């Protein structure tokens, strides 16, 4: 209230005959305006000290910084919203994508999205897209890109993915799928590729076994079953043979190179031949770097907003 009263007195005096018009704060104090705008409390304290000592104090210096501070606070609140992280991860069969996705999701809280899961969910729900996809699958044909791309798009645009960020697992798998996502304006911040040698991949796939009771995946060498009872009921997928896995790897390698042509500038290759802990340390470092860059971009945008 005291500052309001003082402003009124000063304004009245400035409009009397013979008085020059009141200058704005930026005109009178070009270098001091910003420095005092950050602290409303400091201005109030200064005013109180001046009054206590019986000195006359012009509130024009106080009132304008208050307005600047309020404006600055508004800009900060409007712009202090970091865009969530968007990640794509790719790798050949048995490259360790599933393990890394779990670790990423646990640390960063991203929404994990896999195209295969979306297809199965649509089919189970009996949606129109699910019915169309099922027709192709029952004929042993690949589901057209247009169906899968729309499923992925709709999932990425849901509220949880928009708020928390997303982790797209093993998709896109072809150039046409990647191009379709680009055309829809869907682009990740980073494309992680797990590089594993063919020799290691073949060993991992051929040694894989499934527990039909629990659905858990074991490996005869790296993750053997807990007991003989479980070991006795393990099954092997029909395509987890050396001959078939090599054909799958050949198809994967051809497709992934085409996909990388679109994401070349944001691709990070991680050696997947080492332990899952070390692999994740590399993935974690790459994600942290992306977050730091996004934060700097956000800060620069905020500074530009404050400057205007």
What is the set of active-site residues? 97, 173, 208, 237, 248
Tokens of 126: 């009996």
Spell out the domain ranges in the chain: 2-79, 86-307
pLDDT at 8 over 50: no
Provide the whole-model pTM.
Answer: 0.68
Return the structure tokens found at 231: 């070991």
The pLDDT assigned to 6 comes to 36
Q: Mean pLDDT of all residues in the chain?
A: 78
Which band of pLDDT confidence, cut at 50, 70 and 90, is reported for residue 139?
confident
Q: Which fold would CATH assign to domain 86-307? A: Rossmann fold (3.40.50)
13-66 pLDDT per residue, tens: 344 444 444 444 444 444 333 333 333 344 444 434 444 444 333 333 333 333
Q: Give 230-291 as a DSSP string.
A: HHHH-B--TT-SHHHHHHHHHHHHHHHHHHHHHHGGGEEEEETTS-HHHHHHHHHHHHHHHH
Residue 170 has pLDDT above 50, yes or no: yes
Element spanning 200, H or E:
helix 198-206
Q: Residues of the chain with pLDDT > 90: what percent?
A: 52
Name beta bridge partners: 29.
none
| 8 A C-beta contact, residue 136 and residue 142 | yes
Phi and psi, residue 193, nearest 5°: -115, 120
236 Cβ contact list (under 8 Å, min separation 6): 208, 209, 210
Q: What pLDDT is attached to residue 116? A: 87
Average confidence (pLDDT) over 108-125 = 93
Most confident of 73-77, 94-98, 162-166, 216-220: 162-166
Q: What is the pLDDT of residues 253-279, one digit of tens each?
A: 889 999 999 999 999 999 999 999 999
């Amino acid at each position: 209230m005291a500052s309001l009263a003082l402003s009124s007195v000063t304004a009245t005096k400035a409009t009397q005959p013979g008085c020059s018009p009141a200058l704005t704060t930026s005109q009178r104090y070009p270098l001091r305006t910003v420095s005092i705008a950050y602290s409303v409390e400091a201005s109030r304290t200064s005013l109180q000290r001046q009054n206590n000592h019986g000195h006359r104090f012009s509130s024009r210096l106080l009132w304008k910084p208050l307005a600047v501070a309020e404006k600055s606070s508004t800009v900060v609140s409007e712009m202090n919203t970091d865009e969530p992280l968007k990640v794509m991860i790719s790798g050949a069969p048995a490259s360790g994508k599933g393990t890394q996705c779990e670790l990423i999701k646990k640390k960063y809280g991203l929404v994990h999205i896999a195209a295969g899961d979306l297809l199965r969910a649509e089919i189970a729900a009996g949606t129109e897209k699910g019915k169309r996809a099922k027709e192709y699958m029952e004929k042993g044909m690949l589901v057209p890109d247009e169906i899968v791309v729309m499923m992925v798009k709709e999932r990425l645009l849901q509220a949880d993915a928009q708020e928390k960020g997303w982790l797209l697992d093993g998709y896109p798998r072809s150039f046409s799928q990647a191009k379709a996502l680009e055309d829809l304006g869907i682009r990740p911040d980073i494309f992680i590729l797990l590089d594993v040698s063919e020799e290691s991949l073949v060993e991992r796939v051929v040694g894989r076994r499934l527990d039909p009771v629990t659905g858990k995946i074991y490996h005869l060498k790296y993750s053997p079953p807990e007991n003989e009872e479980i070991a006795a009921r393990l099954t092997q997928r029909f395509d987890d043979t050396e001959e078939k896995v090599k054909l799958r790897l050949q198809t994967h390698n051809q497709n992934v190179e085409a996909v990388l042509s679109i994401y070349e500038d944001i691709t990070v290759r991680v050696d997947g031949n080492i332990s899952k802990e070390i692999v994740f340390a590399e993935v974690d470092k790459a994600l942290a770097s992306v977050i730091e860059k996004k934060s700097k971009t956000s800060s620069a945008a905020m500074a530009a907003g404050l400057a205007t």
